[in-house]
Amino acid sequence: MKFIYIVVFLSVVPFGAFADDVHERAKAKIVSRVYQVSFGAEEYCQKASPQNKKSFDDALKNFLTKNGQLVRMIQSSPYYENAKTTMESNKNKSVNVIDNDCQGLTWMLNSLINTTEGQKTIEESEKILRN
């Protein structure tokens, strides 16, 4: 009988460690992705055409206003600095490519704000970052 308890205990320890690792990777990915679509894209979209720049700026302002709790969680995360330093360099892209990228980013921010699925994604992200 003791043998069974030891085997069960030993098998739970690695699983618990694995679960913690997966959870921490999920947190890091959320921080990275939210940074990329918001703060990381802010400077990038300044190079877009005036119309696309304004659309992105408006969507970003709205996203940050409506998701203050998530933004604070992202900025206070231990993964935030890493997200900032690993942002892809986009220095040599044409205005057309930047415009297309910023239109996609604007659509993504608006989807996170204005759709049921987007709101669920924000709620789930906050839940993961909280734990």
Digit-coded pLDDT (tens) for 1-15: 443 333 333 333 444
Decide: pTM greater than 0.85. Answer: no
Domain span at 111? 2-130
For the chain, the domain total comes to 1
Cβ-count burial 1-40 (b if 16+ within 10 Å, e if not): eeeeeeeeeeeeeeeeeeeeeeeeeebbebbbebbbbbbb
Query: What tens digit of pLDDT does each residue of 67-113 get?
Result: 999 999 999 999 999 988 866 555 678 889 999 999 999 999 999 99
